[in-house]
């Protein structure tokens, strides 16, 4: 793979000892970006290395790191100014940071802070959020559940990455609690709808792709350019109100049922860090149109797990799956998004859509795992078809090979619905 360089060297070690633990998410081959603060202070940009954070804002202020000549890009408390730089600047900065943290480095007087001593924040200003529906297994399961199992996929699904524009304002960082949404509901035996708290609150296990390089309005992208324009990836839980959605989604798709909260992990794993774990997409059922043809493998072999913890119980892993099953890669999602001439901006977030695998234990939503409540899960003595107040959901993910590239945690806890007047 032409994208491999010395930052991917599996023999490379760091003088930060915790980064050499084979179980860490953050070895020197990873170097994901995040935003943190200490003791209520200002937000700062950092790199995760082992159980520490390297303060890039401090390095830039001291003149020891200069991604952009003549201007500061790590001083605003978000990654957008850095992501807007030319792509070679991303790679050069990654190489420079790796050299500073390398076991052979002579100067080890760097501004490090323990991850346990900081608060993590949303790493990017989310310019816009688009959610896709790109897992063939997930789309087949949902189609089988609510339509005809023999014709589970809609006629367009095998030809086009299906998506809709969501709410950027309610994308939050891991650890932010999520209130149960309220909305219009109509049961099968109700004559008219009513307004009340969601009764079928669900998760959606996703991977989020973050656009770094923008494309001008009117200028579409090739698959190769789209892949390169993606700065990095985060874990994503796109919380979903299934009962609100089933009433509102026709004819224009999800609205309030998907607008109340989307949780992302705090560390942005760069595209370059994932280069060694690229894999081809699944075999196509029908040929895609020429503009959606990929000449390189643009999926990733990322193991993903979801655990659920009841309020008074212990966590239980409820799903194990892999991003490699996705029918449409993030690059193809970006290609299609820009194909009309849509301008994609630095900080745009693309949700993969629910990632489900081929077996029941690899489904990426409770809707599938419980088959819409017909087969409830047993968790520490409690039954779950959908989420209850006080439940916590945690998504983790990592690539595994010569070294481990992890994403950290993507966690959220369900709070009770807020009614009008409270």
Q: How far apart, in Å, are the Cα atoms of 43 and each of 55, 75, 270?
A: 11, 8, 20
337 in catalytic set: no
**CA–CA dist 19, 12 (Å, integer):** 11
User: Helix, strand or coil for residue 189?
Assistant: coil
**CA–CA dist 282, 15 (Å, integer):** 40
For residue 151, with 0-12 CB atoms within 10 Å meaning exposed, 13-18 middle and 19 or more buried, which class applies?
exposed
- Which residue in this structure is represented by tokens 């199992």? 149
Beta strands in 315-387 (DSSP E): 316-322, 349-351, 377-379, 382-384
**CA–CA dist 88, 26 (Å, integer):** 22
Rg for the chain, CA atoms, rounded: 21
In contact, 408 and 397? CB cutoff 8 Å: no
Q: How far apart, in Å, are the Cα atoms of 16 and each of 65, 105, 252, 305, 310?
A: 19, 11, 51, 28, 36
User: Helix, strand or coil for residue 249?
Assistant: coil
The distance of Cα 354 from the centroid of its chain, to the nearest Å, equals: 11
What contacts 169, CB < 8 A, 6 or more positions away? none
User: Helix, strand or coil for residue 277?
Assistant: helix
**CA–CA dist 221, 340 (Å, integer):** 10
**CA–CA dist 280, 310 (Å, integer):** 37
Closest CA to 238 of 178, 327, 150: 178
The separation between the first and the last C-alpha atoms of the chain, rounded to the nearest angstrom, is 56
> Of residues 8, 138, 336, 337, which has the active-site annotation?
138
Angle, CA of 365, 371 and 376, to the nearest 5°: 90
- The residues carrying an active-site annotation are 138
């Amino acid at each position: 793979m032409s994208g491999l360089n010395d930052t991917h060297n599996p023999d490379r070690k760091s003088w930060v000892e915790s980064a050499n633990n084979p179980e860490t998410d953050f070895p020197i081959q990873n170097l994901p970006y995040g935003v943190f603060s200490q003791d209520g202070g200002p937000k700062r940009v950092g790199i995760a290395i082992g159980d520490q954070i390297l303060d890039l804002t401090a390095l830039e202020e001291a003149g020891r790191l200069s991604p952009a000549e003549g201007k500061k890009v790590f001083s605003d408390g978000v990654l957008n100014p850095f992501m807007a730089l030319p792509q070679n600047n991303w790679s050069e900065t990654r190489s420079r940071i790796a050299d500073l943290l390398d076991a052979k480095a002579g100067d080890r007087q760097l501004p490090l802070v323990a991850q346990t001593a900081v608060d993590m924040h949303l790493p990017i200003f989310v310019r816009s959020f688009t959610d896709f529906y790109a897992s063939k297994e997930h789309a087949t399961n949902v189609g089988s559940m609510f339509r005809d199992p023999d014709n589970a996929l809609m006629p367009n699904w095998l030809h086009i990455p299906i998506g809709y524009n969501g709410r950027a304002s309610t994308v939050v960082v891991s650890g932010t609690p999520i209130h149960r949404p309220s909305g219009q509901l109509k049961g099968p035996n109700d004559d008219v709808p009513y307004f009340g708290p969601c009764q079928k609150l669900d998760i959606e296990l996703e991977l989020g792709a973050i656009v770094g390089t923008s494309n001008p309005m009117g200028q579409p992208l090739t698959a190769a350019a789209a892949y390169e324009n993606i700065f990095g990836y985060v874990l994503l839980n796109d919380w979903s109100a299934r009962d609100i959605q089933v009433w509102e989604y026709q004819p224009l798709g999800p609205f309030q049922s998907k607008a109340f909260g989307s949780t992302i992990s705090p560390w942005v794993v760069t595209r370059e860090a994932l280069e060694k774990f690229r894999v081809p997409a699944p075999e196509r059922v029908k040929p895609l149109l020429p503009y959606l043809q990929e000449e390189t493998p643009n999926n990733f072999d990322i193991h993903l797990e979801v655990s659920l913890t009841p309020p008074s119980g212990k966590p239980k892993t409820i799903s194990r799956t892999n991003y490699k099953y996705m029918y449409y890669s993030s690059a193809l999602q970006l290609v299609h998004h820009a194909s009309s001439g849509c301008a994609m901006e630095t900080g745009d977030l693309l949700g993969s859509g629910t990632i489900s695998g081929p077996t029941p234990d690899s489904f990426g939503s409770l809707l599938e795992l419980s088959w819409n409540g017909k087969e409830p899960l047993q968790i520490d003595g409690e039954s779950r078809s959908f989420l209850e107040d006080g439940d916590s959901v945690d998504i983790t993910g990592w690539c595994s090979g010569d070294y481990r590239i992890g994403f950290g945690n993507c966690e959220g806890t369900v709070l009770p619905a807020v009614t009008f007047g409270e």
